[in-house]
């Protein structure tokens, strides 16, 4: 029972995240990759993402803090952030990164600052939600159940 409930909650929550655009089909791919040989795959990858993101956001903050902003470097960081967020399926973060890159091209320091705030915000949001989702997952597994697969593919 508990397992069922957990699984239902899990599915509902997943659907919500997809619906709101926090996650996209790429995340589903990751879930598909998880199997018996790698039962913690999603958790592992998500953790890597968090670590990497924190570092990138830090670099971004520093870069924008300079007197003379090096937009090229900034762009490189954003590009990387875009890559990793898209790999994990963090759609909203990725979208902000796209906008961020355009601002870098325009060399718009103010715009970039605003965008940085925005991307930080989105990142924190998706981080919270992913953590919640993964906690549910762990609970399911702990209760002996299987993680239901999301069938929403972007």
Partner 1 sequence: MNLGVNPMSFTSSSASWKSGDGVSDQFPAGLRVLVVDDDPTCLRILEKMLRSCLYEVTKCSRAEVALKLLRDNKDGFDIVISDVHMPDMDGFKLLEHVGLEMDLPVIMMSADDSKNVVMKGVTHGACDYLIKPVRMEALKNIWQHVVRKKKHEWREKDFEQSGSVEEGERQQKPSEDVDYSSSANEGNWKSSKKRKDEEDEAEERDDSSTLKKPRVVWSVELHQQFVTAVNQLGIDKAVPKKILELMNVPGLTRENVASHLQKYRLYLRRLSGQHQNGLGNSFMGPSDATFGPMTALNGLDLQALASSGQLPPQSLATIQAAALGRATNKSAISVPMVDQRNIFSFESPKIRFVDGQQQHNNSTKQVNLLHGIPTNMDSKQLAALHQSAQPFSNMNRHIHSQSSQSNSLLTQMVQPQSRTQILNEVGGSHVLNLPSSVGQPVLSQAIPGALLGRNGIDNVHGPTYASVSQPSAVVDFSRSQRAELPGNSFSLVGNSGIPTLATKGMLQEDFNSEMKGNRGFMPNYDVFNELNQNRTEDWGLQSVGSNFEAPQHTNLQGRLDVAPSVLVQPGFLSDRHIGIPSVNKTAFSAADGVVNTANLSQALTSSLPDNALRIKAERLPDMGFQNGPFPDQFGQDDLMSALLKQQQEGIVPAETDFGFDGYHLDNLPV
- Binding interface with partner 1 (CB under 8 A): 26, 29-30, 32-33, 38, 41, 44-45, 48-49, 51-52, 76, 79-80, 82-84, 86-89
Smaller CB distance to partner 1: residue 48 or 149?
48
Q: Sign (positive/negative) of CA torsion 99, 102, 107, 108?
A: negative
CB of 44 to partner 1, least distance (A): 7
Burial class (CB in 10 A: 0-12, 13-18, 19+), 130: buried
CB of 38 to partner 1, least distance (A): 7
Smaller CB distance to partner 1: residue 26 or 139?
26
Distances (CA, A) of 106 to 69, 109, 153: 12, 9, 34
Q: Which two tokens stand for residue 39?
A: 């039962």
Number of neighbouring beta carbons within 10 Å of residue 139: 17
CB of 23 to partner 1, least distance (A): 12
Smaller CB distance to partner 1: residue 2 or 62?
62
């Amino acid at each position: 029972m508990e397992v069922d409930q957990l699984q239902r909650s899990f599915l509902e929550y997943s659907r919500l995240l997809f619906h709101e655009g926090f996650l996209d089909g790429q995340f589903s791919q990751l879930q598909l990759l998880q199997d018996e040989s790698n039962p913690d795959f999603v958790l592992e990858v998500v953790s890597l993402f968090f670590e990497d993101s924190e570092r990138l956001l830090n670099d971004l903050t520093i870069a924008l803090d300079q007197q003379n902003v090096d937009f090229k470097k900034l762009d490189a960081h954003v590009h990387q952030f875009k890559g990793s967020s898209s790999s994990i399926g963090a759609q909203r973060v990725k979208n902000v990164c796209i906008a961020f890159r355009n601002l870098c091209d325009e060399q718009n320091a103010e715009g970039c600052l605003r965008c940085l705030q925005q991307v930080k915000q989105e990142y924190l949001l998706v981080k919270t939600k992913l953590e919640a989702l993964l906690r549910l997952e762990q609970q399911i597994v702990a209760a002996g159940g299987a993680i239901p697969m999301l069938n929403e593919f972007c």
